[in-house]
Amino acid sequence: MKALLERVQTVADHPIDAINQYVDQGKKAMGMVLPIGPMELVEAAGMMPVGVWGDYGVTLDLSKQYFPAFAASVAMVTMEYALNGTYDKLSGMICPGLTDTLICLGQNLEAGVKAFPTLFLAYPQNRFLECGHEFMASELQKLQGRLEAISGQKVTEEALSAAIDLYNEHRSEMREFSDLAAKHANTITNIDRSNVYKSVWYMPRAEHLEIVKAINEKLRAMPKETYDGKKVVVTGLQFDDNNVLGFMEENHLRIVGDLVGHDSVQYNQDVPDDKSGIERLARYWQKLEGFSVAYDPKKLRGKLVAKLAKERGATGAIFAVMKFSDDEEYDMPICMKDIKAGGIIAVSFEFDQQESASEQIKTRIQTFAEIL
């Protein structure tokens, strides 16, 4: 177990090194700007999809020429890395137009970065209508052509089907990992759990699948553990800051489940069946739940968080609001209300990748632990 956790920790702590090592083997990597993208299509084109989720403790300089100070820091860091050469070994970057900031990011990348092409992908917000599905499929079809031109490899139906099967198998193992980690809260710390989720964004999916399978096998063989602290579930776009996770460890709060865009939201639903691979990927957009950037007229997120907390034996929930993310800020009041209505004690805090060691966050976590 120790060797497996150290492997994912190395990748999670040094993502750029992991990407560069892969590319240095003569392979191609395609950046996937948060919060979601058709990774299976990139895989089928013979490239490795890698996550673009910003970074912590980055000094911003060049990006200030493209964004105002009140832009979400994840977009600022992405632009900074794209301009300063950190992402130069990528063969391209797919940017989804899911928010105003992401639309601006896509335009800024296209205008300011010459090291690689930017591939903009428009998602329909009316995702439950059949016309929305048709639009999504047409956008993916256009993207496929651009990916084929970059990789020099044609995307066959067989290759796309195999990629979808691989990713669905990985989703299943990640769902099981989330459940097993909750039952072994002494063995799997908050940072261990985060590393498993974070590392997948920076390594081949098949390789990560084997690691998660091995971790799950070892956890299944262990007896269920009793955790002396308090169990909580978390939600937000991102919850991978080691400083925040460390604050939670200090206050004996164990994450036993999540509805986080960076983490379990990616794995809660499989890509469904349909008449072709493109149709399947387009249909997947309709399946996502509890995701602020995916139109949800029923506002299920808070109810889903409360349900998860009860299933995992958690007494509290934490909503980490990404600073300057309109979608998250609009979601938060309704979500918090529904979590509390479900009998779960909840707290929210605002986080920024440039202020990751915030004393305000530390104080809120400490107070929350005392309340629980």
246 belongs to a structural domain: no
CB atoms within 10 A of CB 157: 11
How far apart CA 189 and CA 187 sit, in angstroms, is: 6
Q: Residue 107 pLDDT > 90, yes or no? A: yes
How far apart CA 61 and CA 296 sit, in angstroms, is: 37
pLDDT, tens digit, 9 for 90 and up, residues 128-178: 999 999 999 999 999 999 999 999 999 999 999 999 999 999 999 999 999
**Domain encompassing residue 86:** 25-155
Q: Residue 357 pLDDT > 70, yes or no? A: no
> Taking a C-beta distance cutoff of 8 angstroms, is the pair 95, 102 a contact?
yes
151 belongs to a structural domain: yes
Q: How confident is the model at residue 355 (pLDDT cuts 50, 70, 90)?
A: confident
- pTM exceeds 0.85: yes
346 belongs to a structural domain: no
Per-residue confidence (pLDDT) for residue 340, from 0 to 100: 98
How far apart CA 50 and CA 33 sit, in angstroms, is: 9
Q: How many CA atoms lie within 13 A of 103 on its CB side?
A: 7
Q: How confident is the model at residue 356 (pLDDT cuts 50, 70, 90)?
A: low
Say which DSSP state 82 is in: H
56 belongs to a structural domain: yes
Which has more confidence, 347 or 358?
A: 347
Non-local (6+) Cβ contacts of 150 within 8 A are: 28, 30, 45, 47, 91, 92, 117
Per-residue confidence (pLDDT) for residue 354, from 0 to 100: 85
> Taking a C-beta distance cutoff of 8 angstroms, is the pair 119, 93 a contact?
yes
130 belongs to a structural domain: yes
Q: What is the mean pLDDT of residues 204-221?
A: 99
Element (H, E) at 317: strand 316-322
Element (H, E) at 308: helix 301-312
Per-residue confidence (pLDDT) for residue 247, from 0 to 100: 95
> Taking a C-beta distance cutoff of 8 angstroms, is the pair 353, 323 a contact?
no
* Helix extents (H) in 57-189: 73-84, 100-112, 130-151, 157-183
> Taking a C-beta distance cutoff of 8 angstroms, is the pair 30, 49 a contact?
yes
- Total domains in the chain come to 1
209 belongs to a structural domain: no
The CATH number given to whatever domain includes residue 32 is: 3.40.50.11890
pLDDT, tens digit, 9 for 90 and up, residues 2-57: 999 999 999 999 999 999 999 999 999 999 999 999 999 999 999 999 999 999 98
The radius of gyration of the chain's CA atoms, rounded to the nearest angstrom, is 20
pLDDT, tens digit, 9 for 90 and up, residues 46-104: 999 999 999 998 999 999 999 998 999 999 999 999 999 999 999 999 999 999 999 99
102 belongs to a structural domain: yes
pLDDT, tens digit, 9 for 90 and up, residues 287-328: 999 999 999 999 999 999 999 999 999 999 999 999 999 999
Non-local (6+) Cβ contacts of 200 within 8 A are: 170, 174, 208
Average per-residue pLDDT in the chain? 97
pLDDT, tens digit, 9 for 90 and up, residues 225-271: 999 999 999 999 999 999 999 999 999 999 999 999 999 999 999 99
Q: Residue 345 pLDDT > 80, yes or no? A: yes
Q: What is the 3-state secondary structure (H, E, C) of 176-211?
A: HHHHHHHHCCCCCCHHHHHHHHHHHHHCCHHHHHHH
Q: Which of 309, 315, 312, 314 minimizes the C-alpha distance to 290?
A: 309
297 belongs to a structural domain: no
